[in-house]
């Protein structure tokens, strides 16, 4: 299968390229980082790149949380205009298979239950509570501390920043494309991806990358809140395998004319504090410091139930947390 990998020179895209090649497919990189003419917003460049292509793996995006609202137009341009141009060209070239790099950010806060009121949707955490060191979201009805659960794909979406909004719009565009063309689309909603080639020293890098950079300077990782916030850290090679598996399943395991979304996580949540300890131990560096600082808008817990991807596509993560963090701690790039 000849697969156009947009963003194929990036962190995740480069691993997708390797996974596809290892399975005997023919990945074609389309990334503005490698070639300034390879911009997904450029209709002609995309049309040329689609020549002879069987499927598209769309990783190209402007990532991260953004800084305030100043870069909203840039996010929308790269992520949503880019996706629209790509899909238009795919429709014209009759390329009917798409795998999209989705994100767990579409869910906003994770799933929570109150002992008395069952599953509830907490609002943003109050500054007064955070200042007082009360980090757990509270029940909107009775104020009790909530217990976190696993988010499933049918959970309501609640994008809370511009980046999240553009990731959700990408899915809506892909669904509209599938409906209009009879194409098949899969969105892999990645959780916290880490591993070799993870971007570092940029404001958009993930938390594992920040901790590793601190340790590389001989400094203790600084852990926000109380360190008990839960995430699902999934290794980049497992995410690449999920992409390859999804690409091979398009049109068989997943129905045409629609977009199917799959949570893509390790299935084993860990706290940010545990992650900091694992990295510090692997680096032989100073133990993490839990600072009690917080960032407004950070979600407290977000952990996926990735059972659907396992059950329907037969994917399963292979890289364990300790092993993956140990490798990441020592990775040179
Ligand atoms: N890293 C994570 O934890 C994570 C989590 C959820 C979703 N994602 C998604 O995964 C995808 C890949 O992210 P990543 O972490 O590898 O980031 P990355 O920045 O390393 O890779 C993105 C690549 O896309 C390219 N790109 C950006 N705009 C482009 C354009 N207009 N035309 C062509 N290429 C363009 C960049 O040059 C870059 O190489 C993104 O869609 C991101 O939203 C990542
Ligand atoms: Zn309650």
When the pLDDT of each residue in the chain is averaged and rounded to a whole number, the result is 94
User: Ligand 2 center to residue 113 CA distance, Å?
Assistant: 8
Instruction: State both tokens at 88.
Output: 């238009």
Rounded Cα distance, 65 and 331, in Å: 25
pLDDT > 80? residue 275:
yes
pLDDT > 50? residue 333:
no
Q: Which ligand is nearest to the CA of 145?
A: 2
Mean pLDDT, residues 322-328 taken together: 94
Mean pLDDT, residues 174-185 taken together: 98
Residue nearest to atom 12 of ligand 1 (CA): 59
DSSP label of 136: S
pLDDT > 60? residue 332:
no
Rounded Cα distance, 166 and 178, in Å: 18
Instruction: State both tokens at 303.
Output: 């952990």
Of the pLDDT bands very low, low, confident and very high (cuts 50, 70, 90), residue 137 is very high
Q: Is 163 a catalytic residue?
A: yes
Q: Which atom of ligand 1 is nearest to the CA of 40?
A: 32
The pLDDT tens digits of the residues spanning 98-125 come to 999 999 999 988 889 999 999 998 888 8
Q: How many CB atoms lie within 10 A of CB 224?
A: 17
Query: What are phi and psi for residue 135, nearest 5 degrees?
Result: -95, -20
The pLDDT tens digits of the residues spanning 295-304 come to 887 889 988 8
* Strand locations in the chain (E): 2-6, 26-30, 55-58, 97-103, 111-114, 118-120, 147-149, 184-190, 192-194, 222-223, 230-231, 233-235, 258-264, 270-271, 289-290
pLDDT score at 56: 98
The pLDDT tens digits of the residues spanning 223-273 come to 999 999 999 999 999 999 999 999 999 988 899 999 999 999 999 999 999
CB 276 within 8 A of CB 286: no
**Range scoring the smallest mean pLDDT among 26-30, 82-86, 299-303:** 299-303
Q: Which ligand is nearest to the CA of 49?
A: 1
User: Ligand 2 center to residue 304 CA distance, Å?
Assistant: 23
Pairing between strand 192-194 and 184-190? unpaired
**Overall pTM > 0.85:** yes
* Test site for ligand 1: of 9, 60, 303, most ligand atoms within 8 A of the Cβ: 60
Question: Percent of the chain having pLDDT more than 70?
Answer: 98
pLDDT score at 64: 81
Residues with C-beta atoms within 5 A of ion ligand 2: 114, 116-117, 139, 141-142, 144
CB 167 within 8 A of CB 107: no
Q: Which ligand is nearest to the CA of 39?
A: 1
Mean pLDDT, residues 28-38 taken together: 97
In order, the DSSP letters of 28-77 are EEE-TTT-TT--TT-HHHHHHHTTT-SEEEE-----S--STTTTHHHHII
Rounded Cα distance, 62 and 308, in Å: 27
Q: Which atom of ligand 1 is nearest to the CA of 206?
A: 3
Q: How many CB atoms lie within 10 A of CB 99?
A: 30
């Amino acid at each position: 299968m000849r697969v156009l990998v947009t963003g194929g020179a990036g962190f995740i895209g480069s691993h997708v390229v390797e996974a596809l090649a290892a399975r005997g497919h023919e990945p074609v990189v389309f990334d503005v980082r490698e070639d300034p003419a390879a911009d997904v917003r450029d209709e002609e460049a995309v049309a040329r790149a689609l020549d002879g292509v069987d499927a598209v793996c769309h990783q190209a995006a402007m990532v991260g949380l953004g800084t305030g609202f100043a870069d909203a137009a840039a996010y929308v341009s790269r992520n949503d205009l880019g996706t629209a141009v790509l899909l238009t060209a795919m429709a014209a070239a009759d390329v009917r298979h798409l795998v999209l790099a989705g994100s767990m950010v579409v869910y906003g806060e994770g799933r929570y239950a109150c002992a008395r009121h069952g599953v509830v949707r907490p609002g943003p955490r109050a500054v007064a509570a955070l200042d007082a060191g009360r980090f757990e979201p509270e029940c909107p009805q009775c104020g009790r501390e909530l217990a976190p659960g696993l988010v499933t794909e049918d959970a309501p979406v609640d994008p809370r920043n511009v980046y999240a909004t553009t990731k959700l719009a990408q899915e809506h565009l892909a669904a509209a494309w599938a409906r209009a063309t009879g194409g098949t689309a899969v969105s892999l909603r990645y959780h916290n991806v880490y591993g070799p080639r993870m971007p570092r020293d940029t404001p958009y890098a993930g938390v594992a990358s920040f901790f590793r950079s601190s340790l590389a300077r001989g400094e203790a990782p600084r852990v926000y809140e109380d360190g008990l916030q839960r995430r699902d850290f999934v290794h980049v090679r497992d995410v690449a395998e999920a992409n390859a598996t999804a690409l091979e399943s398009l049109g068989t395991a997943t129905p045409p004319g629609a977009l199917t979304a799959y949570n893509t996580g390790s299935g084993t949540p860990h706290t940010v504090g545990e992650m900091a300890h694992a990295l510090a131990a692997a680096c032989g560096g100073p133990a993490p410091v839990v600072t009690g600082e917080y960032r407004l808008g950070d979600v407290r817990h977000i952990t996926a139930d990735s059972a659907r991807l396992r059950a329907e596509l037969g994917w399963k993560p292979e890289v364990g947390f300790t092993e993956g963090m140990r490798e990441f701690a020592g990775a040179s790039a």
